Structure 1
Amino acid sequence: MVNPAGKADGRPAPAPPALGLRLGGAYAAFFLAMGIQLPYLPLWFQHRGLGPEAIGVALAVPMLVRLVSMPLLGLLSDRLGRPKALLVALALATVGGMGMLALSVDFLAILVTLAFTALAWMPSLSLLDSYASRQARAGRADYGKARQWGSASFLVANLVGGVLIGMLGAGSVVLMMLAGQLAYVLATLALPELPRPERRPAPVTGRRARLGVLSGIVAAALVQASHATLYAFASVSWKAQGYSFTAIGVLWAVGVAAEMALFRFGTRLVVRFGPHALIAVGGITAVVRFAAMASEPPLAVLVLLQLLHAFTFAATFLAMVELVSRSVSEHRSGTGQTAAAWIGSILMSSANVASGPLWAAFGPLAFLVSSAIGLVGALAALLAARLQPHSSGSGG
């Protein structure tokens, strides 16, 4: 009988040469385009003549589209049984979409090309997570160590992208995203294909245990959603406190460096303590972090609070991927990871919508709502742990 890793004697198949580097390269390439898109795409919209209302609609389109495409492509990945091939196909489709976007001028054309691009691009990260977690489950790679290069690449894209856009103008934003996505195509081509896994019963059985898995995913999504006000208004808050753009950039860089460190060593933590415990720690840390931010602390304290990003974001994210990996059969990995990301997208989108009115009404005190969301996430993680009487094996 051939095991999921592809060896007839039951042992894991040997890792292809430099598999860790290939996975790290795939994450790094993916986040090059993301590191340009998140901070700078609104400038490109403005360059194309879109007003504030139109920019808001344009930014909402990918968020809406991914709610449809994520679960569908997760099911497709599992049905095809060739995750690397699907990653390559989606990367090529995204290149085509970004190429069309670069040529789009009027508002309708921009919306259509954005929707097409998002269909392929937005679910790709969850499918890459599924691929990497399967390699980790077989003992051929370390998910956290590969994922850290995505964070590093995102930071580099933020910094270098700002310099290049300052030199080339806002019209270069989509072209830079396209260059990053072309790098991602090459990176996915370098990945080995996974063998089609056997159809096996899910590791988690019983209504109570399945409810525990769902509760754990919701808990992680809540802790992630507690960051919505941070992402939207932290820079605004810090600027109002009188900090320079350089200081603000350093604060964001500290947070990214902290998450990189956690990803690098996080596998040991999740194996030692389990995903539910890490999610709970992330939620409790969010309570402390955001409650402190509501008081507009001095710069030295803000640096310490940004270091907590390692737990509020990275540990929680790593734990959610691990929880899904432990809880679904390998032949349902794509479905499981995209479903978890879908739940996270809904909660984060809702928190994003709420953050604007909250900030307008309460200013920095809106971070107290973030703190409350983190607390609910921590409590949900503890509940999820109580619903899991069994002990799952680690997915690595």
Structure 2
Amino acid sequence: MAHQAQAEETGIRPGLPPLPPLGLRLSGTYAAFFLAMGIQVPYLPLWLQDRGVGPEAIGVALAVPMLARLVSTPLLGVLSDRLGRPKAMLVALALAAAGGMAALAVSVEFFGILVALAFTALAWMPSLSLLDSYTSRQARAGRADYGSARQWGSAAFLVANLVGGALLGLLGASSVVLMMLAGQLAYVLATFALPELPRPERRPAPVAGRRARLGLLAGIVAAALVQASHATLYAFATVNWKAQGYSLTAIGVLWAIGVAAEMGLFRFGTRLVVRFGPHALIAMGGVAAVVRFSAMAFDPPLVVLVPLQLLHAFTFAATFLAMVELVGRSVSEHRSGTGQTAAAWIGSILMSSANVASGPLWAALGPLAFLASAAVGLVGALAAILAARLQPHSSGSGG
């Protein structure tokens, strides 16, 4: 068994072609996961419309995966830690999500579509948090770099947006779920290529006590608030830019600049975490959100929008990376899956709340609704400072 685990980790398998290095396999796994995501986010509403689903029902259909994720994410995190086989859990969830997408592809009736969407989300959405847990454990063991692997998820998301749009023009809206399924099958293969991690010893958490737990919770909430500050951006930035007269090409470039910025941060983010610590990165992300969204509230020209989009490196990537690192430092290895999925669960709740609020705010205020986004980012920065003050600084605590 030990020889098999070593062979999987090194990629050397007697009598078989060697596997790529672990870092490359992890990068490929993130890329494969985000291929399907990069099709689903922009194009699934078109598929629903092609199935004859009306606007109000589309809103319901898109809400179902979010609700399903809130139910399954923490439960699957606990289950993964109880089983002690994170690679096997990733494979099982990838296969289940692929089955859900296959069922979705042949669904016609609205109820069947809702059931397929819910089943897919139950398995698919928590997979990213469990993959983050798996990768952070490999990183803490010195076998991989989380940021370097995660950047390829962002790259694949962008490629899927662009290539998916081109294929959609050729194949029609009915091809959307089939493209999602193709990406998911690639993710299934990628998870099979990962090595299984040994069951960790049950040890006390690196930080313990009521103050430390409160500090961890404050840090997670801080990162989740900065992430939630993007809700208005995701929902209405394209609408607003188009109203300002920017072409779809220019708008696409603006979004691509943001993705490129987050890739750059992920690429070198580990050095930043080591240098400044996760709390400082979250605070930087919150301050960047204040600057970014305060400026966007006043419809800045294109020459200003470009550097504002570059701030996505801090408002999104830095806070996400810092949250994963904060949980990894604060939670025992045998509870890594529980910790990462709990953080994702808190983030989902705050993002969902911000999404609900963004519509009425935009209807009432227009672009000035971005000032509310700036306020949420500011609260996130202040929460990060509070979390840093609550962090224990005793030897070995990670402080």
Q: Structure 2-normalised TM-score?
A: 0.95
Separation in 2 of the partners of 1:115 and 1:94? Answer: 10
Residue 60 (structure 1) aligns with: 63
Q: Is 1:271 matched up with 2:277?
A: no
| Residue type at the aligned position of 1:218 | V
Map Cα deviations across residues 114-163 of structure 1 (whole Å, 9 max, x no partner): 11111100100000000000000101000000000000000000000000
Match of 1:131 among 129, 134, 140: 134
Q: Is 1:116 matched up with 2:119?
A: yes
SS of alignment partner, residue 123 of structure 1: helix
Separation in 2 of the partners of 1:131 and 1:393? Answer: 23
SS of alignment partner, residue 304 of structure 2: helix
The question of whether the paired residues in 1 share the 8 Å contact of 2:206 and 2:397 is answered with: no
Map Cα deviations across residues 190-238 of structure 1 (whole Å, 9 max, x no partner): 1000000000000111111110000000000000000000000000010
Q: Is 1:293 matched up with 2:296?
A: yes
Shift of 1:14: 7.3
Aligned pairs (5 A) from 1:221-370: 221-370=224-373
The question of whether the paired residues in 2 share the 8 Å contact of 1:224 and 1:313 is answered with: yes
Distance 1:221 1:161, change over 3 A: same
Shift of 1:393: 6.7
Shift of 1:392: 7.9
Gaps of 5+ in 2: 12-19
Distance 1:188 1:292, change over 3 A: same
Q: Percent identity at matched positions?
A: 85
Shift of 1:389: 2.9
Separation in 1 of the partners of 2:61 and 2:339? Answer: 29
SS of alignment partner, residue 105 of structure 1: coil
Separation in 2 of the partners of 1:124 and 1:248? Answer: 30
SS of alignment partner, residue 148 of structure 2: helix
Distance 1:392 1:317, change over 3 A: farther
Residue 140 (structure 1) aligns with: 143
Distance 1:376 1:155, change over 3 A: same
Aligned residues: 385
| Residue type at the aligned position of 2:271 | R
Residue 74 (structure 2) aligns with: 71
Residue 197 (structure 1) aligns with: 200
Residue 93 (structure 1) aligns with: 96
| Residue type at the aligned position of 2:52 | G
Separation in 2 of the partners of 1:202 and 1:283? Answer: 28
Measured on the aligned residues, the alpha-carbon RMSD in Å equals 1.5
Residue 17 (structure 2) aligns with: none
Residue 47 (structure 2) aligns with: 44
Gaps of 5+ in 1: 1-5, 8-12
Map Cα deviations across residues 271-327 of structure 1 (whole Å, 9 max, x no partner): 111000000000000000000000100001001100000000000000000000000
Match of 1:177 among 180, 201, 224: 180
Shift of 1:394: 10
The question of whether the paired residues in 1 share the 8 Å contact of 2:9 and 2:195 is answered with: no
Q: Is 1:18 matched up with 2:12?
A: no
Shift of 1:181: 0.1
Residue 3 (structure 1) aligns with: none
Separation in 2 of the partners of 1:41 and 1:287? Answer: 31
| Residue type at the aligned position of 1:28 | A
Separation in 2 of the partners of 1:391 and 1:28? Answer: 39
The question of whether the paired residues in 1 share the 8 Å contact of 2:286 and 2:381 is answered with: yes
| Residue type at the aligned position of 2:82 | R
The question of whether the paired residues in 2 share the 8 Å contact of 1:203 and 1:392 is answered with: no
Separation in 2 of the partners of 1:370 and 1:392? Answer: 38
Distance 1:377 1:213, change over 3 A: same
Separation in 1 of the partners of 2:44 and 2:200? Answer: 39
Map Cα deviations across residues 235-259 of structure 1 (whole Å, 9 max, x no partner): 0010011000000000000000000
Residue 165 (structure 2) aligns with: 162
Map Cα deviations across residues 155-204 of structure 1 (whole Å, 9 max, x no partner): 00000000000110000000000000000000000100000000000011
Distance 1:394 1:40, change over 3 A: farther
SS of alignment partner, residue 389 of structure 1: coil
Separation in 1 of the partners of 2:386 and 2:97? Answer: 40
